Structure 1
Amino acid sequence: MATGRNDRGIRKFIGKLVNMVCFGIMFFSSYQIISILYDYYANRQVLAEIQEVYQESRDGEDSQEGGDMKGIRSSFTELLRINPDIVGWIEIPGTDISYPVLQAENNEFYLTRNYKKEKSRAGSIFMDYRNDVKDLKRNVILYGHRMKDDSMFGQLDKYLSEPFFRRHRTIYFDTLYESYDAEVFAVYKTTTDFYYIDTDFSTDEEYLSFVRRLLDRSVYKTGLAIGPDDPVLTLSTCDYTFPGGKGRLVIHARLKKKM
């Protein structure tokens, strides 16, 4: 009889332990989900603030006299007061992408920080540290996370739909010094084994050979001519169809200064 009572006691204890473990797992999972959702919300609120600042500055640009003594456009004056690391703004019609472009001394800082330099799961859209915003040449690279709430570069995958690609070939890219239209000519998935982020080309032929490799990988054929003096805007984000975190979704566009 004692053995029977002991067995029931053990089973009861194990049952309680299992319930506690299940409750703990459920509580931890709920906490993580709430934390992620709050991060998404906070990120969108922070971005809405700077979008409003930029829109007001851009609306007033025509009524202001040029830029400052360094040639910086007046539409960026307020943005630079917020963060002097802001070097541009990217906007893609048909998406929610309308964000400041940051640049640091490396390609790690803004992976996990917003434009206020606060820690952020979403990070920022940022320009490769090797690019010179005063003189955009050859391959100009912008990076951004592919967030699951479609923020940052989360909507770049729309370019995998040919109808969307055909209707939204033009990306708008403003910098501190110039305003550009960027015509998309290549879209593809790849891995980090393909070095599409090269910025150093010793000859025109080396650069044009690089461009041909980009064209060859594209899922679309546009016939757009890229010359040795045409800078390419490269948008790079993650692609989760490849294992090991090596997958990338890449968009290339030809940069042309607005007249």
Structure 2
Amino acid sequence: MIGTLRRRVFIITCLAAFLLTGCEEKNAGENPFTASEESSEAVISTTSGQEEIDLDAIYEKRYEDLTYTSLEPAENVTGQTDAAFWKKLFGENFTYTPVDFERLQEENPDVYAYITIPDTVVDYPVYQHPEDDYYYLEHNADGSAGYPGCVYSEGINAKDFSDFHTVLYAHNMKNGTMFGALHRYETESFFEDHPYFLVETPERGFVYEIFSVHSFDDRHLLACYDFSRAEVRERYIKMITELEGNGLVERDGNHVRELPVTSHSRILTLATCVGSRPNLRFHVHAIPVYYYDLVEE
């Protein structure tokens, strides 16, 4: 199910094309998550002379009852996540540390998850602002404005990662912090040697396995594709697993791993910018392969 929808105006052109073509056409409006050529950090851009469209009505129409996703074929490993389990996945140097959500949510109640990518600096809380989708693009966890911002999702996405497509965003920091570390997956050996990462909520943990990394244009994925339609989900999966399609950019850092991704999967995408290429994004796609409950039912 989707999260609480909010009144948010998004700048976009050609509403008819947006509504009718979805997967096939690029959103002509600027995504506010673009890259600075000088700093390789994400900045907000604006586009003038375009029609202002409130996406909430569109989202409500598309996502009224998304009940088709499933955790299958992810394996329930509740009660089996001992030290040996973690070391098998992440290596001998990995030590699992439970997330103190009580402390994090006392500091900022917008925290709802935590992401860890072993052998990188990615070890961050995940935020979702109740009113402003892009608040954490421009603000830090303590509410101060500026960089580096936070890892965040938009209100269209549920906080339990049950949607067909959840997208987490963060800045591509020049010093490699935040989601700047995602670019390590452009190196084939790193992609092959680091297939898994960890996401936890207060109720449940997920081990995700990466199946595709690639550069893409700057369209807004959750607005440009009508994922409530099975045929759109199938075309999207085909595109990102075969690395061919409108929007994909051929670069040496694109890689795929064969996994059973279907139109009922729960895809998690990590998205950031591409250095001095303001019209490109770098996407890391994964599906859950293990999950474990953190609270007793």
Which of the five TM-score ranges fits, normalised by the shorter chain? Answer: 0.5 to 0.7
In structure 2, distance between residues paired with 1:228 and 1:190: 21
Of 141-150 and 197-206, more deviation after overlay is shown by 197-206
Correspondence 1:100-249 to 2 at 5 A: 100-104=125-129, 105-134=131-160, 136-193=162-219, 195-198=220-223, 200-217=226-243, 219-242=254-277, 245-249=278-282
TM norm structure 2: 0.58
Count of residues paired in the alignment: 187
Higher percent of residues as helix: 1
Matches of 1:139 and 1:148 in 2, distance apart?
28
2:122, 2:179 within 8 Å by CA — same for their partners in 1? yes
Deviation at 1:133? 0.8
Structure having the higher Rg = 1
The reply to whether residue 255 of structure 1 matches residue 280 of structure 2 is: no
Counting only pairs closer than 5 Å after superposition, residues 7-156 of structure 1 correspond to structure 2 as 58-59=97-98, 75-104=100-129, 105-134=131-160, 136-156=162-182
Instruction: Report the Cα offset of residue 252 of structure 1.
Output: 0.5
RMSD between aligned residues = 2.3
* Partner deviation per Cα, 1:17-56 (whole Å, 9 max, x = no partner): xxxxxxxxxxxxxxxxxxx9xxxxxxxxxxxxxxxxxxxx
Deviates more, 1:219-228 or 1:106-115: 219-228
The structure showing larger relative contact order (alpha-carbon pairs under 8 Å, at least 6 residues apart) is 2
Give the conservation status (yes or no) of the 8 Å contact 2:186–2:255: no
Gaps in structure 1 of 5+ consecutive residues = 1-35, 37-57, 62-74
- The normalised TM-score by structure 1 is 0.66
Give 1:54's aligned residue.
none
Q: C-alpha displacement at 1:217, in angstroms?
A: 2.3
More strand by share: 2
Specify the code of the residue in structure 2 equivalent to 1:141.
V
Structure 1 residue ranges (4+ consecutive) displaced by more than 4 angstroms after TM superposition? none
Q: Would the alpha carbon gap of residues 134 and 95 (structure 1) be closer, same or farther in structure 2, given more than 3 Å must change? A: closer
Deviation at 1:134, TM superposition (A): 3.5
Q: Per the alignment, do residues 135 and 185 of structure 1 end up closer, same or farther by CA in structure 2, a change over 3 Å counting? A: closer
Measured against aligned partners, the alpha-carbon deviations of 1:210-231 in whole angstroms (never above 9, x if no partner) come to 1111212282232211123320
Deviation at residue 107 of structure 1 after TM alignment: 2.6
The offset of 1:94, in angstroms, is: 1.4
Unaligned runs of 5+ in 2: 1-38, 40-96, 245-253, 293-297
1:190 & 1:241 partners in 2: Cα distance? 14
Tell me which amino acid in the other structure corresponds to 1:167.
Answer: D
Which AA in structure 1 matches 2:121? D
Q: Give the aligned residue type for 2:267.
A: V
